[in-house]
Structure 1
Amino acid sequence: MHEAPIIMLGGMRFDLSIILMLIVSCTVVFLIAKLATRNMSVENPGKLQNFMEWVIEFVQNQVAGTMDMKKGRPFVTLAVTLIMFIFVSNMLGLPFGIVMHPHSAEEATIFGQPIITAVEAFNSAAAAGQEPHVEIAFWKSPTADVSVAMALAAMIFILVHFLGITKNTKAYFKHYFEPYPVFFPINLIEQFSSLLTHGMRLYGNIFAGEVLISVILKLAAVNVVGMIASIPLMAIWQGFSIFVGAIQAFVFTILALVYISQKVETHDEH
C-alpha cells in the first residue's frame, strides 16, 4: 500500500494528498458550474447547460420523493453540490496516479518538512533488516480516505440535527422516546449508527476500488503475461468504478435527503 504524505506543522498532522485532492475536487465542480451557466440560453442551450439542467431536475425529483417540496426546495442546492462533489471526488483516482519513490528517509521531504509516514516506514524496514520500498501517493480519490468520507457524513449529521432542533423541536425530541421511553438508548444509538454507516459506505466502496486498481497495476509490473492480462482487467474495472462512483454519490445524497426529511417533517406529513 502507498503511504500518505503526512507532515507535522504546529504539532498537527496534515495529509497533503487530501488537501490537494479536495482543492482539485472543489475547483472541478466550480468550473463545471461556472461554464454551464456562463452563456445561458433558452433558445439554444449548450451541452453543459443541458447537463446542469438535467442534474438539477434529477435532484429536484429526489427531493420531492423524500419530503414536501415546499420544505425541500432550500435543500436542492445542497443536494446538487453534494452529488457533483462526491462524484468528481470518486472519479479523481481513476485516470492516473502521482506517486513519489524516495530511496531514503532523508529524501522523504516536501517543502523542507519530513514526510513522517515515509520516515516511519524506512525506520521500520531498517529495524527489521528488510530492504525498504516506500511509495508515497499524492493523487487519489479524496473519498477513498476515511477522514474525508466521515467528515462529509458528520457535516450532514450536524445539519440534520440542527434542523430537527430548530425547525421541528417538539417532534424531534419526542422521537427519542417513541414508542416508549425505555427505547431512548436504542434511538440514540440509531442516530450515531446512521452517521457511521453513511460515511463508511462511501469510504469502503471507493477505497476498495482503488486498492484493486493498485493490485492490477502491480500485476502489470510482474512480467509480459501480467501486463497483457492487466489491460482488459483495468479497462473493465475502470468502467465498473465509474458506475460505482456514480451510485455512491447518489446513495450518499439520497440518504442525506432522507435524514433531513425525517427531522423537518412531522409524522402526520409522511
Structure 2
Amino acid sequence: MHEAPVINLGGLDIDLSIILMMVVTCTIVFVVAKLATRNLSVENPGKLQNFMEWAVEFVRNMITSTMDWKKGKPFLSLALTLILFIFVGNMLGLLFGVVTEYDDPAKAKIFGHEITSVTSFMKENQEKHPGEEVHAEVAWWKSPTADVGVTMGLALLVFLISNGLGLFKNTKNYLKHYIQPYPFFLPINIIEQLSKLLTHGVRLYANIFAGEVLISTIMGLAKASTIGAIFSIPLLMAWDGFSIFVGAIQAFVFVTLMIVYISQSIETHEEH
C-alpha cells in the first residue's frame, strides 16, 4: 500500500491528499452546478440542465418516499449536495493515480514541512532491514471517501442534523423515545443511535477503500511482469466498471439513510 502524505502542523497530523481531494471534489460539484444553472431555458434546455433537473427529481423522489414533501422540501438542497459530493468523490480514485517515490528521508518534504508518514515508514524499515535500500511511495490522488475521517465526518453531520431536529423541534417526545417501551431500554436506545453513526460512516469508507486497495493490487500486478501487465488490463477495466456501479450505489445508500434518519426524527417525534 502507498503511504499518505501526512505532515505535522500545529501539533496536528494533516493528510494533504485528503485536503487536495476534498478541494477537487467540491470544485467539480460547484462547477457542474454552476454550469447547469447558468443559462436556464424552458424551451431549449442544455444537457447539463437536463442532468441537474433529473438529479433534483431523483432526490425529490427519494425524499417523498420516506416523508411528506412539505416536511422534506427543506432538505432537498442538503441531499442533492451530499449525493453529488459523495458520487464525485467515489469516482475520483478510478480516474488515475498520482504517486511520488522517496529514497531519502531528508528529501521527504513539502512546503518546507517534513512528510512524517514517509520518514517514519523509512526509518522503521531501515531498522528492520539495516543496509538495504528503502523507498516509500506516496499517493496524492485518491477518493476522499476512501478515508474514514471523511466518511465519519459526513456521518457525524447527518447524526447532528437528524438528532438536532428531534431535540429542538420536539424536545419532550424526542427525549421520551429513549426510554420506550420501558425505562431500562435507555442504554439500548443510546447504543442504537451511536451504532447508526458508526455504521453510516464505516459502510461508505469500507466499500470505497476496499475498491481502491484492489485497484492498487491490480496495478502492482501490472508492474510485476509482462504477463501480469497483459492480464491486468481486462481486470482493471472490469473492476473500474464495477466500481462505478458500487460508487453510485454507496452515494445513494448514504443519502437514503440520511433521509430516513431525518424522517424518523421529524415524523416519529412529532406524532408519537
1:39-92 superposed Cα distances (whole Å, 9 cap, x missing partner)? 110000001000000000010011001111111000011000000000000011
Q: Partners in 2 of 1:63 and 1:212 — Cα distance?
A: 34
**Residues 52, 269 of structure 1: CA spacing in aligned structure 2 closer, same or farther, 3 A cutoff?**
farther
- Among 178, 184, 197, which residue is 1:182 paired with? 184
How far apart are 1:11 and its partner, in Å?
Answer: 1.3
Q: Which of 256, 266, 269 is matched with 1:264 structurally?
A: 266
2:43 matches 1:43: yes
Within 5 Å, give how 1:164-203 maps onto structure 2.
Answer: 164-203=166-205
Structure 2 unaligned spans of 5+: none
Structure 2 residue aligned with 1:69: 69
Counterparts in 2 of 1:53-92, with a 5 A limit?
53-92=53-92
Partners of 2:249 and 2:197 in 1: CA distance: 19
Q: Which amino acid aligns with 1:212?
A: L
Aligned pair in 2 of structure 1 residues 268, 161: CA closer, same or farther (>3 Å)?
Answer: closer
Partner SS, residue 134 of structure 2: coil
- Please tell me whether the aligned partners of residues 3 and 117 of structure 1 are also in contact (alpha carbons under 8 angstroms): yes
SS of residue in 2 equivalent to 1:33: helix
Q: What amino acid maps onto 1:158 in structure 2?
A: L
Q: What aligned pairs does 1:54-133 form with structure 2 within 5 A after superposition?
A: 54-129=54-129, 130-133=132-135
Alpha-carbon distance in structure 2 between the residues aligned to 1:251 and 1:140: 21
2:257 maps to what in 1? 255
Paired letter, 1:23? V
CA distance in 2, matches of 1:98, 1:134: 14
Q: Give the superposition deviation at 1:267.
A: 6.4
Identity %: 62
TM-score (norm 1): 0.98
Residue of structure 2 in register with 1:222 after alignment = 224
* 1:125 and 1:131 in contact (8 A); partners too: no
- Which stretches in structure 1 are left out of the alignment for 5+ residues? none
Bigger Cα displacement from structure 2, 140-149 vs 4-13: 4-13
What residue is the counterpart of 2:3 in the other structure? 3
Q: Deviations over 1:22-43 (max 9, x none)?
A: 0000000000000000011000
Contact 1:168-1:265 at 8 Å conserved across structures: no
Measure how far apart 1:105 and its partner are.
Answer: 0.3
Quote the offset at 1:244 in angstroms.
0.3
Aligned to 2:93, what secondary structure does the other structure show? Answer: coil
Q: Give the aligned residue type for 2:118.
A: A
Give the superposition deviation at 1:154.
Answer: 0.5
**Moved beyond 2 Å, runs of 4+:** 266-270
Contact 1:98–1:138 (8 Å) recurs in 2? yes
- Asked if structure 1 preserves the Cα contact closer than 8 Å seen for 2:90 and 2:208, the reply is yes
Which stretch shows the higher mean deviation, 124-133 or 15-24?
A: 124-133
Paired residue secondary structure (2:102)? coil
The residue identity in structure 2 corresponding to 1:140 is K
User: Residue 38 of structure 1 aligns to a residue in which SS?
Assistant: coil
Which has the larger displacement, 163-172 or 46-55? Answer: 163-172
Letter in 2 for 1:10: G
The aligned residue for residue 164 of structure 2 is 162
Pairwise CA RMSD: 1.2
> TM-score, normalised on structure 2?
0.97
Residue 268 of structure 1, CA deviation: 7.9
Tell whether the 8 Å contact from 2:90 to 2:144 is kept in structure 1 after alignment: yes
Q: Distance between the aligned counterparts of 2:270 and 2:111, measured in 1?
A: 58
